[in-house]
């Protein structure tokens, strides 16, 4: 299967808009072992300066958050304990915003994914979480800073999802009022959306 990367200008839109535009697109990772790809079904927006949940809150600039201060369309990988999370940098340069990819639906390289993830009970356990999908796709922290419109790691054109939903983000209970923001977006009813509470639908 061939995937058509998006143009670099695709990332040139407001973060909240981009977070929704990413739903239905395909996240592709090419490695020596082969290609693994999945449709993006869940995202979360993080808008640095005023968002207490973001690593770049209050323009906090460190080696880790550096890439978020660059132009949009680059990869921000974030190692959390044993897991690696993948984000799409958004916003203009000096505007530290990013979109976390929380769930994908496999479309290519299922064998690779099973190989990398080990035995899982259900198919959706392969990629229905931010740490799971990076492992399944073979995304590692070394992908930090890569442009997302060309191989080996890129966003490819896909089909518009039929119905999307929005709601509060996950796992940021200590982030003040920012936790109320409906900045999590997902494809309604999709099996590969993380978590079990899919009911706080705003849109």
Q: Are 169 and 150 in contact (CB under 8 A)?
A: no
Cβ of residue 41: shortest distance to DNA, in angstroms?
A: 14
Closest distance to DNA from the beta carbon of 56 (Å): 10
Contact 36, 109 (CB under 8 A): yes
Minimum distance from residue 163 beta carbon to DNA (Å): 20
CB atoms inside a 10 Å sphere around CB 132: 23
Q: How far is the CB of 51 from DNA (least distance, A)?
A: 11
Write out the residues near DNA by the rule CB under 7 A: 53, 60, 62-65, 79-83, 85, 117, 125, 129-133, 141, 170-172, 174, 194, 196-197
Nearer to DNA, 77 or 90 (CB): 77
Which residue, 15 or 127, has its beta carbon nearer to DNA? Answer: 127
What tokens were used for 124?
Answer: 């959706």
Torsion from C-alpha of 199, 161, 17, 4, nearest 10 degrees: 140
Tokens of 40: 């993006």
Give the shortest CB-43-to-DNA separation in angstroms.
13
**Residue (3 or 132) nearer to DNA, CB:** 132
Minimum CB separation of residue 79 from DNA in Å reads 4
User: Count of CB atoms within 10 A of residue 177's CB?
Assistant: 7
Angle between helices 110-117 and 130-137 (to 10 degrees): 120
The per-residue DSSP string of 152-198 comes to TEEEE--PPPS-EEEE--SS-TTSGGGGGS--EEEETT-TTSSSS--
């Amino acid at each position: 299967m061939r995937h058509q990367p998006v143009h670099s200008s695709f990332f040139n839109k407001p973060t909240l808009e981009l977070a929704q535009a990413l739903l239905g697109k395909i996240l592709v990772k090419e490695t020596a072992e082969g290609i693994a790809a999945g449709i993006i079904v869940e995202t979360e927006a993080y808008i640095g300066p005023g968002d207490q949940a973001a690593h770049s809150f209050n323009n906090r600039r460190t080696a880790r958050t550096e890439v978020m201060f660059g132009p949009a369309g680059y990869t921000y990988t974030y190692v959390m304990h044993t897991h690696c999370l993948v984000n799409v940098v958004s916003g203009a340069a000096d505007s530290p915003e990013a979109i976390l990819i929380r769930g994908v639906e496999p479309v290519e390289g299922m064998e690779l994914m099973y190989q990398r993830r080990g035995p899982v009970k259900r198919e959706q356990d392969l990629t229905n979480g931010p740490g799971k999908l990076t492992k399944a796709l073979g995304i590692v922290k070394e992908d930090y800073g890569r442009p997302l419109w060309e191989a080996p790691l890129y966003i490819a054109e896909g089909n518009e999802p039929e119905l999307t939903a929005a709601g509060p983000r996950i796992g940021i209970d200590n982030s003040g009022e920012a936790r109320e923001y409906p900045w999590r977006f997902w494809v309604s009813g999709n099996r590969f959306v993380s978590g079990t509470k899919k009911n706080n639908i705003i849109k």
